[in-house]
Homo-oligomer: A and B are copies of this chain.
Amino acid sequence: MRSRILPRAWLKGTFLILGGIILLFIIAPVGKMIFASSPSILMESLRDSEITSSILLTLYAALLATVIGFVLGVPLAYLLAKTQFPGKKLIEGIIDLPLVIPHSAAGIALLFVFGRNYFMGQAFDGIGIRFLDSLAGIVIAMLFVSVPFLIDSAKEGFKKVDPRLENVARTLGATPWKTFSRISFPLARRSITAGCILMWARGMSEFGAVIIIAYHPMIAPVLVYEKFETYGLNYARPIAVILILISLVVFVVLRFLLYRRERS
């Protein structure tokens, strides 16, 4: 990292002021939520079983989505990072689709496949899994909107693994599977972990797709909305604060991982 002479004062000053506005715009709402909340109200909210169970449900559903994303997504990330084939760009495009599809529209789209009257819905119905207003529905909504984060991060991680390390492993007698499990995966592990955390955080924060498929059982972001609609801003606030605090903790862990990845 090479340091440079800073732009002259006026340019830097203008840029700092403009940048400062956007920083304040992000910090102010989050900071105010956290610091203006009285701890006693928060503690009380944590004793409210409706709130705690919705938060636990959110964490659990996002975790399930992440596990599924890990099992299905990491192998795909490896193929995309390490092999060349026609249509690769198309597949990379498809994976990023959920990032731009409006969340409520994504929920509608998922219902047209997983709803009880539709193909996958019927198939899963046979083994007793229903999606409408159920944990399974929450999980697929979260999976849909958040899996691109894991796949992209894992792909970047695998790409950074020097192919020569894998080549050397092969010549030393490692099979493709051993090369993957002993060399590529361990070396990409930090990126994959960061991707999992990002996916989990993104899953937890989903609202639009989930509310369409499963208003009940109520995940925390839906509960925030419900309280806001029914009782108003001040009743929605404690849950929102708790959610933001959880996100922040997850986020700090994530930044720490990313920071160490950049340095190594």
Contact = CB atoms under 8 A, between A and B. Distances in A.
Given A18-B76, A108-B224, A244-B109, A202 B100 contact: yes
Copies of this protein in the assembly total: 2
A185 interface: no
Contact of A16 (B79, B96, B101, B250): B79
Interface string A175-199: 1110110000000000000000010
Given A98-B26, A170-B5, A207 B18 contact: no
Interface string A215-248: 0000011101100100001001101110110011
A153 interface: no
A36 interface: yes
A26 to B, nearest CB: 6
Interface in A72-96: 72-73, 75-76, 78-79, 82-84, 89, 91-96
A115 interface: yes
B29 A144 contact: yes
A33 B222 CA distance: 25
Given A233-B111, A259-B89, A25 B104 contact: no
B108 A237 contact: yes
A205 B102 contact: yes
A240 B104 contact: yes
Contacts of A144: 25-26, 29
Given A76-B18, A255-B93, A8 B176 contact: yes
Interface of A: 1-8, 11-12, 14-16, 18-19, 21-23, 25-30, 32-33, 36, 69, 71-73, 75-76, 78-79, 82-84, 89, 91-115, 120, 140, 143-144, 147, 151, 163, 166-167, 170, 175-177, 179-180, 198, 201-202, 204-208, 211-212, 220-222, 224-225, 228, 233, 236-237, 239-241, 243-244, 247-248, 250-252, 254-255, 259
5 contacts: A18-B71, A18-B72, A103-B207, A108-B236, A212-B228
Q: List 9 A-B pairs, minimum CB-CB distance, nearest first.
A: A19-B76, A7-B176, A207-B208, A15-B75, A29-B109, A105-B240, A102-B205, A22-B72, A108-B240
